[in-house]
Amino acid sequence: MSVQFEDVKIAHERIKDYIHRTPVLTSKTLNTIANAELFFKCENFQKAGAFKFRGATNAVFSLSNEEAQAGVVTHSSGNHAGALALAAKQRGCPAYLVMPVNATKVKKEAVLGYGGKIIECGTTMSSREEVVQQVIADTNAALIHPYNDERIIAGQGTATLELVEEIDDLDAVLAPVSGGGLLSGTAIAAKGLKKDILVYGCEPKNADDAYQSMQSGKLQSIDNPQTIADGLRASLGDKTFAIIKEFVDGIYLVTEEEIITAMKYLWERMKIVVEPSGSVGLAALLRSKPELYGKRVGIILSGGNVDLGNSPF
């Protein structure tokens, strides 16, 4: 395996002065509904509004001065783009962000606010990758892949490193899964600290490539999934799938309606703004999960970048 627990610890040391150590919140109401003791790691309070800032910062500050001078490039529907733009700004290097034309307005505005340059592409993964290669040819910028990158995986794992260190005796951790950077980093960090802890990925039924990949044992992909969870439309990479296949205990699927219901609970009961992608962990627990009844469960609330103009409620 290319990413080790030691890499997560090194990443945390590298980025700790740049990131927020986000709070862990609880809710007695949601504990009762889920029949479990829940601990929410609030990456919606992270800089740039999502956990993505951890991996982006680790990757950008891993570059040599020569590499940084040429800048960085990535493709992203929003959160990774914003995170990379801000990390690049802190390093003092250019950032080129390839974003699909249907990326939300709030996420595009964040990228521009951090000084990033947006290059629009089509809605398919193949379109994203083609435009990225053109940017690299034009600028010689360093590619910081949104998830299939060891530096990104190690950086994302630092959220769970903090969570498991802070909350004693967790039985399980739930994290959203899209490209798999967060989930693979979560699994490495959680099981590096506590060997018998359970780790589950959570994803929309409408974008269930990770579930299909785990079921078949082979990497599956969905080119243009339709889900309200716009941050979960990517498919696993080969690096993330290898880690997830070895260390993740299962994938929970949730419906669009369950994602919206979970968002409402987080907004109304906990008074925190969490985007659809960040709500899938709670959405999974709103279903019957007898294997987690009475357990102490950590949930990664991955981001809070909501376009209120397109709010589902």
Task: Give the catalytic positions in this structure.
Answer: 52, 77
Among 106, 108, 68, smallest CA distance to 87 is for: 68
Show Cβ contacts of residue 75 under 8 Å, excluding neighbours closer than 6 positions.
81, 97, 98, 99, 121, 128, 129, 131, 132, 146
Alpha carbon separation from 226 to 84, 95, 139, 175 (Å, rounded): 25, 28, 32, 20
Which run of H or E residues covers position 128? helix 125-139
- Report the C-alpha gap between 194 and 112 in whole angstroms: 40
Q: What DSSP character marks residue 50?
A: B
- Report the C-alpha gap between 224 and 181 in whole angstroms: 19
> Burial, 150: exposed, middle or buried (Cβ in 10 Å; 0-12, 13-18, 19+)?
buried
Q: Which amino acid appears at position 223 of this protein?
A: D
Cβ neighbours, 10 Å, residue 238: 9
- Report the C-alpha gap between 34 and 266 in whole angstroms: 13
Q: Which amino acid appears at position 299 of this protein?
A: I
- Report the C-alpha gap between 70 and 114 in whole angstroms: 18
CB contact at 8 A, 148 and 221: no
